[in-house]
Chain A
Amino acid sequence: MRTFGSLLVRGLIVGLFAGLLAGTFAYVMGEPHIDAAIAIEEAGAAHSHDHASGDATQAAEEEPLVSRDGQRAGLFLATSLYGVALGGMFAVAFTLLRRKLPTSSDPYAALGLAAAGFIGIVLVPFLKYPPNPPAVGNPDTITRRTVTYLLTLVIGLLAVWAGVAASRWADRLVDRWGVVARLAVGAAAFLATIVAAYLLLPAINEVPGSFPATLLWQFRFASLGTQATLWLLLGLGYAATVDPRMSRQKVVAA
């Protein structure tokens, strides 16, 4: 049996590497689009210099606190720290939920948890409030957008839980239902939660009509790819570290 400390450290290390590699993906696939969006933002700002001159963003434009090169390097810091944080939480979730997962394989359990985390934390928020590049978004609504983003994230995790709970309930209720029926009940509960939440949450669309649609699509695709890379590597990496074949330590019957 592994101690919680060892499970946690594995999560932190795997998260760090997953974050670094996701940062590499973001650097290659995302940075060109961020540069293009910043060029549009600056072109727009040049036209409207007269309004809100005391603004913090205005001051930052005159003398940037961090240069563009600094921000490109900071990308790796951001994704790495984010990866460490996710890896740590993933390890806690693995420790607490492992016994509830109906598989005797620790690697499969880790992959299942990563899939659940990706759906709840990335896909559900992404489809309701897709991420925006610089030059998109009204600074006055940032609090509202932050709260609704966090809400979709929590709802995403709840929806995954609802789907799993419903499919287990169906399993207990009718003994002879096949796998397909159980999956259908689970998917229905998941989708019902998501659709209800999507309808209740406010619509937010702050993309200016003049913003290039292709750039928006490319940025959002790069953002989704960055997060998919992070979660895929987190899941695969954690699965590898809890694989009994990967450690010399004999697995003692729990």
Chain B
Amino acid sequence: MAAPARTIAVPAISPRLLAVALLSVGLMLLLGYLVAFDQGAVSQSGMYLHELMHDGRHLLGVPCH
């Protein structure tokens, strides 16, 4: 098992940290959704962003049309 290493560079896990971490993950998932799946519902740009990022979606392995 791991020795109690002294170089661990992360803050202790607290309820506050967990809340902030969860919020961050939510925001990141929203951003990922915007790139990978959104068709205007979130971006409110119609299909513009969807079409703009078309090639990226294909090459990032996301199923597309």
Residues of A that sit less than 8 Å from B by CB = 1-4, 7-8, 23, 26, 30-31, 34, 56-57, 60, 64-66, 70-79, 81-82, 84-86, 88-89, 91-92, 94-96, 98-99, 101-106, 122, 125-126, 129-134, 137, 139, 142, 145-146, 149, 219, 222-224, 226-227, 242, 244, 251, 253-254
Contacts and interface: CB of A to CB of B under 8 A. Distances in A.
Interface string B38-53: 0000000011100111
- State the majority secondary structure of interface residues on A: helix
Nearest to A244: B7
Contact of A131 (B52, B58, B65): B58
A92 B10 CA distance: 10
B60 A227 contact: yes
B52 A77 contact: yes
A135 to B, nearest CB: 10
Given A66-B48, A103-B2, A139-B65, A85 B9 contact: no
Given A34-B58, A253-B6, A82 B11 contact: no
B55 A26 contact: yes
Nearest to A254: B8
Of B18, B34, B55, most buried by chain A (CB within 10 Å of CB) is B55
Contact of B56 (A75, A105, A137): A75
A78 B65 contact: no
Contact of A57 (B24, B57, B65): B65
